[in-house]
Amino acid sequence: MSLSPSLDSLCLRVQPLSEMAESRALVAVREALEASDARRMVWIALSGGLDSVMLARLAARAVKDCPRRLRLVHVHHGLQAANDDFEQLARRLASRLGLPLSVRHLALAETALKSRGLEAAAREGRLAALSTCLVAGDSLWLAQHQDDQAETLLLNALRGSGGRGLAAMPPERALAVGEASPGRGLIAHERARLLRPLLGIPRHEIQTLARQQGLQAGHDWCEDPSNVDQQFDRNYLRHSVVPLLQARWPQAVASLARSAQQLQEEQSLLDELAAELLAKVQVSGAEREAQGHEQGQGQGLDQGRAHEMQLSLAELAGLSESRQRLVLRHLCQSRGWPVPPRGRLMSLQRLIATPPDSVAEVHWANAEYAVSVRAWRGQLWWQVSDTVIEQGVRHRQGDTGYARSGRQPGETPSSEWDSEARKAWRALGRDEQHVAFTSRQPGDVLRVAGRGRRDIKRLLQEADIPPWQRDQLRVARMHDGTIAGLWHPSRGWWLLASFTQ
């Protein structure tokens, strides 16, 4: 498909925005504008297809009644030759509507395509690209409608999803600035809003509006060639399954969308319960952001931040198994972390039911985050790294994700911990000319004020530093071998020898 060079002349037949008749779609868009912050930007995702073109036109009409800052944004996927035509149409439409346009070019990683599949990788990459435009308080509008909602419910049902998946797409949700962007941490107060103003409008009403306004396929919107390829599940449902359902049940799409809405209400109640239960099982004051401690070196892992927290095994054990699963899923979903697959969830519940004598671990990951959960000293210790995990690294976790181990393979280079320890020592005003900063050695002891010489291994245990973090310890070693202090990334120089205090 290519755009006609006489597009501008053809556009003369298009109905002016000022003559756009009142409709349910226009009312929905106007209400969404009224609910937005007039000080912030409303970004409208413009793919070039009919739905997004109509959303852009409806917003351009509604903004005359409700002034807001509007901007279109187009993502060039780079997956097919027609993508250039989509961008060209987006630029022409933005010019005709008098709205500014931003264009983002997407380059999908081969690993993402292999691990997630084309549809999922493109969807996640598109959201990542769109979110890079946003700042806190902005809104991002997507053009999904009622038929899309029904298809999403059916797809998730066929995948065996639970209540959250069957609730399909929410009409509105918070969107962390930079969400789905590998290597970027999510900061709670940096939030935008993702809205779907047309989610209650069926496809046929949008098509009718386009005809009434004189819009034509190939001139005023692009038909994506991939939308007719029924090797993709959504296209198969759209073209082969849903028409059969509608032939028997004409209100099938509206009924499915209504079911999704009811499930969203029920899910919100479950979320409230899960949040209350999570507050009871979470160890107070044990949640923190830290530099990634166990990011891979030469293992396909990039240095990143880590989010750490602890849950009480005793409190979790006091819940029913179904409530345990509810809390564990909610913890991940509420923070944007990957939800544990069923097998990993069962492994976590085995740890809760029978806490091991030694450290036991459960791991899982997606394209953006790696999650490690360890049972130790009556707690589940969580560490989530905003890190791209290569497929080969994931495979080392095995089929169950359950292991007994001291630490994960691939740690931060020791030289980095040496450097951090040196900086902290310098900040204390200590002389560093006659001190080396090294890892601990067997037999190392520290002279503690009022206690005498103490084995460093015992001091680590007393300090409740987990076994998988003890290799991060650095000691200040004098030239004669005497240990002058102990440093750890989570504690700093928390213990100094008595002669230096």
User: Is 410 part of any known ligand binding site?
Assistant: no
Percent of the chain with pLDDT over 70: 83
Please write the tens of the pLDDT for every residue from 360-376.
899 998 877 899 999 99
Q: What is the 3-state secondary structure (H, E, C) of 156-209?
A: HHHCCCCHHHHCCCCCEEEEECCCCCCCCCCCCCCEEEEECCCCCCCHHHHHHH
Q: What is the mean pLDDT of residues 209-238?
A: 92
Higher-pLDDT residue of 144 and 227 is 144
pLDDT of residue 389: 38
User: Is 49 part of any known ligand binding site?
Assistant: yes
pLDDT at 13 over 80: no
Please write the tens of the pLDDT for every residue from 47-99.
999 999 999 999 999 999 999 999 999 999 877 778 899 999 999 999 999 99
Beta carbons within 8 Å of 361's beta carbon, 6+ residues apart: 372, 373, 374, 402, 403, 404, 405, 408
pLDDT of residue 387: 56
Handedness of CA 136, 137, 138, 140 (dihedral sign): positive
Q: Using the 8-state DSSP alphabet, how is residue 37 labeled?
A: -
User: Is 226 part of any known ligand binding site?
Assistant: no
pLDDT of residue 183: 36
Strand pairing category for 474-478 and 483-488:
antiparallel
User: Is 300 part of any known ligand binding site?
Assistant: no
**Distance (Å, rounded) from C-alpha 359 to C-alpha 280?**
24
User: Is 165 part of any known ligand binding site?
Assistant: no
pLDDT of residue 112: 61
User: Is 47 part of any known ligand binding site?
Assistant: yes
pLDDT at 436 over 50: yes
Q: Which amino acid is at 27?
A: V
pLDDT of residue 140: 97
Percent of the chain with pLDDT over 90: 54
Contact 136, 190 (CB under 8 A): yes
Contact 496, 322 (CB under 8 A): no
Higher-pLDDT residue of 293 and 141 is 141
Please write the tens of the pLDDT for every residue from 94-113.
999 999 999 998 877 666 66
Phi–psi pair at 78, nearest 5 degrees: 70, 25
**Distance (Å, rounded) from C-alpha 356 to C-alpha 251?**
54
Q: What is the mean pLDDT of residues 272-277?
A: 97
* Six token digits for residue 420: 């951090």
pLDDT of residue 115: 64
**Distance (Å, rounded) from C-alpha 157 to C-alpha 245?**
15
Please write the tens of the pLDDT for every residue from 444-474.
999 898 888 999 988 988 888 888 888 889 9
Please write the tens of the pLDDT for every residue from 160-208.
998 999 999 999 999 877 544 433 334 444 689 999 999 999 999 999 9
Please write the tens of the pLDDT for every residue from 31-60.
999 999 999 999 999 999 999 999 999 999
Q: How far is CA 429 from the centre of its chain?
A: 42
Q: Using the 8-state DSSP alphabet, how is residue 226 labeled?
A: G
How high does pLDDT run on average in the chain?
Answer: 84
8-267 folds as: Rossmann fold (3.40.50)
What residue segments make up the domains of the chain, in order of their start? 8-267, 282-404, 414-500
pLDDT of residue 240: 97
Sequential DSSP letters for 61-114? HHTTTS--EEEEEEEE--SSTHHHHHHHHHHHHHHHHT--EEEEE----HHHHH
pLDDT of residue 368: 77
**Distance (Å, rounded) from C-alpha 29 to C-alpha 357?**
58
